[in-house]
Amino acid sequence: MTDDEPITLGASHRGNGGLTHLACGTGRPLGARLFKSRFKGYMVCHCLLFAGDGRLVLVDAGLSREELRAPRKLGWFATALGLQSEPQLAAYEQIGALDFNPSAVTDVVLTHLDLDHAGGLRDFPDARVHVSEAELDAARRRRTMGERMRYRASQWEPARWVVHAVSDSTDVSSPVELLRVGNWTLSYVSLPGHTRGHCGVLATSSDANVLHCGDAYYDRSELADAGSFLFRCFKRGVDTSLAQAESSRRRLRVLQAERADLQLFCSHDPDEFAEAVGHSLGADGADGADGADGADGADCSDGARDAAI
């Protein structure tokens, strides 16, 4: 991986099995320059799109069309993340480019409510928005300076909230089931620390199991070790509770070692994103949108198309 843009980011292929990986925003964060041994120079906002049963479900919403047109309007946050102006990467635009109808998005499942995960909600005002009870409470109360900086209610109020009680002990063996779409079952697992109610989203099917770890870590190297004192100081600045966040990362380390059947990835690691895209397209790079798929752009309710996705 180099500092140059590593992969084609705009969605051009639907993933097999009804799961497509989307990068809904990119940046060159300041933290990456400070910790070159830890981070690549480049980050993505890794979201998931599930298609089936004539509807679409998003996991995280990335940044909105408007935010990606003019990221500077996000102020210090855009500077810290080095956000690029790339309106074509908004989930709304990529869903259209895949010949789906954005109005078919019935649900958005959020790992947490940070700016770079919730901004895209603006483009799906009719969708139900799933969030953990602790996260919505933290975002509304904004009890600390950090929480006042990281949450912006203008991105998500009003929303059609579906609030879930997720206890700290909720792990992959006893997740909180949220919904089913096509062959997939989506559930929450608790990964607190980055924010108070931060959750991973577990997606299981007969063919694959993936865990979207949100911002439990930024780079997979964080699952190997906790890093230097300086790096831990940096994490203390971005994690609401460093102790909880380190505990969550320890749990993920164990999972990674014990569950070869489970693909883990976080929101911002570009290597993980590239691997996930490759994995979802299959070894030959074939996608689920060609041939008899008959992508007509009208909606995703056609039976033959549903079979293809």
- Shortest separation between residue 115's beta carbon and Zn ion, angstroms: 8
CA distance to 83, 140, 213, 225, per residue, from 157 (Å): 23, 10, 24, 38
CB nearer Zn ion, residue 31 or residue 175: 31
CB nearer Zn ion, residue 183 or residue 241: 241
- Shortest separation between residue 282's beta carbon and Zn ion, angstroms: 28
- Shortest separation between residue 219's beta carbon and Zn ion, angstroms: 12
CB nearer Zn ion, residue 248 or residue 267: 267
CB nearer Zn ion, residue 191 or residue 300: 191
Sequence-distant (6+) residues with CB within 8 A of 125 are none
> Is 43 within 8 Å of 29 (Cβ atoms)?
yes
User: Which tokens go with 185?
Assistant: 């079952």
- Shortest separation between residue 266's beta carbon and Zn ion, angstroms: 9
- Shortest separation between residue 113's beta carbon and Zn ion, angstroms: 10
Backbone angles phi, psi at 252, to 5 degrees: -65, -35
CB nearer Zn ion, residue 164 or residue 194: 194
> Is 133 within 8 Å of 165 (Cβ atoms)?
yes
User: Which of 58, 38, 47, 44 minimizes the C-alpha distance to 212?
Assistant: 47
CB atoms within 10 A of CB 16: 19
- Shortest separation between residue 77's beta carbon and Zn ion, angstroms: 10
Q: Which residues bind Zn ion (CB under 5 A)?
A: 116, 215, 267
Question: In terms of C-beta distances under 8 Å and separation of at least 24 residues, what long-range contacts does 170-177 make, across chains too?
Answer: 171/251, 172/202, 172/211, 172/255, 172/259, 172/262, 175/202
CB nearer Zn ion, residue 43 or residue 51: 43
